[in-house]
Chain A
Amino acid sequence: SYELTQPPSVSVSPGQTARITCSGDALPKKFAYWYQQKSGQAPVLVISEDSRRPSGIPEKFSGSSSGKVATLTISGAHVEDEADYYCYSTDFSGGHNGVFGGGTKLTVL
């Protein structure tokens, strides 16, 4: 079965840039989407189609993709950015097989 691999945790100091990666064999041909989930809340879309920022999402969030790796970058991270971040994409099948990565816990301290 298709898998997306994320690091379990990323830690940065306040004001630093956090980078969270997501690797998958289909990413060269499929878009990655990124979701932020704060404790006890539903996920929120922060990046779509590798690098598009939805309306209302701060400019500090950006995305990129190269080869088999998509990256979510949070510039000037602060305590309020602490959350679990999940990537999502689909595999090569002709239908739709959606997969989330295992999630990355971002700690800002």
Chain B
Amino acid sequence: QVTLRESGPALVKPTQTLTLTCTFSGFSLTTSGMCVSWIRQPPGKALEWLALIAWDGDKYYSPSLKTRLTISKATSKNQVVLTMTNMDPIDTATYYCARTVAGVNFDYWGQGTLVTVSS
């Protein structure tokens, strides 16, 4: 049974760095073709793909956010971590992690975590 769960602060201040952790079970990030992605959704708005980390360590970022994002994995802990620097109120959103097969297929999602950016 595949599960993913996002964790991190619910509230961050402008200019701070956000760190989110995705803890997963039911699959291994060492399996060929397996990846984990981060996706966000501002309230009432569309989904936005942010970043992906692959089983082989390759990392990909949204071009519009790549200077602010870092994705990493702790394979032994079954965790993927996303950091986003210089947070702004427009970054207020629900952040999801998702198992990603072959780099494009988000077949399992976490329930999401709402992050509010406010002073």
> Using a CB–CB distance below 8 Å, which chain A residues touch chain B?
1, 31, 33, 35, 37, 42-45, 48-49, 54, 86, 88-90, 95-103
Contacts and interface: CB of A to CB of B under 8 A. Distances in A.
Interface of B: 37, 39, 46-49, 52, 60, 62-64, 96, 103-107, 109-112
Contact of A98 (B49, B109, B110): B49
A48 B47 contact: no
A96 B111 CA distance: 24
From B47, B63, B64, name the one whose CB has the most chain A CB atoms within 10 angstroms.
B47
Contact of B49 (A42, A54, A88): A88
B28 to A, nearest CB: 20
A35 B108 CA distance: 11
Contacts of B109: 42-44
A49 B64 CA distance: 25
B46 A48 contact: no
B106 A96 contact: no
Given A88-B49, A100-B46, A100-B49, A33 B104 contact: yes
B47 A90 contact: no
A35 B46 CA distance: 12
B46 A33 contact: no
Given A42-B111, A42-B112, A97-B62, A103 B46 contact: yes
Contact of A101 (B46, B103, B112): B46
A85 B107 CA distance: 15
B97 to A, nearest CB: 10
Contacts of B49: 88, 98-100
